[in-house]
Amino acid sequence: MMIFWRAVGIVIILICVNCFGFTSVSAAEVSDFQNIVWRNAYNASIAGVYNPSTEQIEWKQARHAGIGGVYNPTTEQIEWKQVFHGGVAGVYNPTTEQIEWKEVVKSGVAAVYNPMMQQVEWKEVPFSGVAGVYNPIKQKVEWKEAFKSGVAGVYNPITQKAEWKQMLNSGVAGVCTIEGYYTLNSSSFYGIMDDFN
């Protein structure tokens, strides 16, 4: 069914190379005129999630570990997960009202909830970053892979297309902060976090 979102997509790709645990990593943030916030972290994984409860974007970074985060509308909290020397993807499934996670070793992994199929789609790519975005105009999930690079995708309701960022040896995350547009998603949020080690 069609509902209004406060923010789209929590679409994130993480790349990890160096230290375990949440850590302070040099990161750059750029906000474009279309209200998409991008952030990258050199030699580290990074995840960003819009929290409608606080109306803020929350970021986590890690080295030597992939990291992912998903907003859970049931608990109204963000859940985080990290995997040492691996990738992790998480997505809220409105059908089951549960967050589904997948952990991989030395690979990138992405998860996107497809409201048309009413199921989660997964993609895993060895030694590469991977990101996925559900495009409500095309009514399908679009994927992008980046060998040994971080990549992030965000659906832009203004241009009505997916936008991508890719960086070598860096984690990349993107979050759209536009509220008040609709999609065929049956939940307030769907998320994808991916990362590459």
Per-residue model confidence (pLDDT) at position 29: 54
CB 37 within 8 A of CB 175: yes
Q: CA 62 → CA 15, 17, 85, distances in Å?
A: 9, 9, 11
- In this structure, what is the dihedral angle of CA atoms 44, 48, 148, 90, given to the nearest 10 degrees? 120
Burial (CB count <10 Å: 0-12, 13-18, 19+), residue 40: buried
Q: Kindly report, residue by residue over 75-124, the tens digit of the pLDDT.
A: 989 999 988 888 888 998 989 999 999 998 888 889 999 989 999 999 99
Q: CA 151 → CA 1, 11, 180, distances in Å?
A: 30, 10, 26
Instruction: Return the bridge partners of 153, or none.
Output: 164
Length of the chain counted residue by residue: 197
Average pLDDT of adjacent 10-residue blocks, the chain of 197 residues: 32 34 44 72 86 86 87 90 86 91 88 91 89 91 89 88 88 77 26 36
DSSP state, 16?
A: -
Per-residue model confidence (pLDDT) at position 129: 86
Q: How far apart are the C-alpha atoms of 120 and 111, rounded to whole Å?
A: 7
CB 39 within 8 A of CB 28: yes
Using the structure block, give the residue that is written with the tokens 């929290």. 51
Tokens of 194: 């991916």
pTM, two decimals, is 0.76
**DSSP-derived secondary structure for 127-153:** TEEEEEEEETTTTEEEEEEEETEEEEE
Per-residue model confidence (pLDDT) at position 144: 93
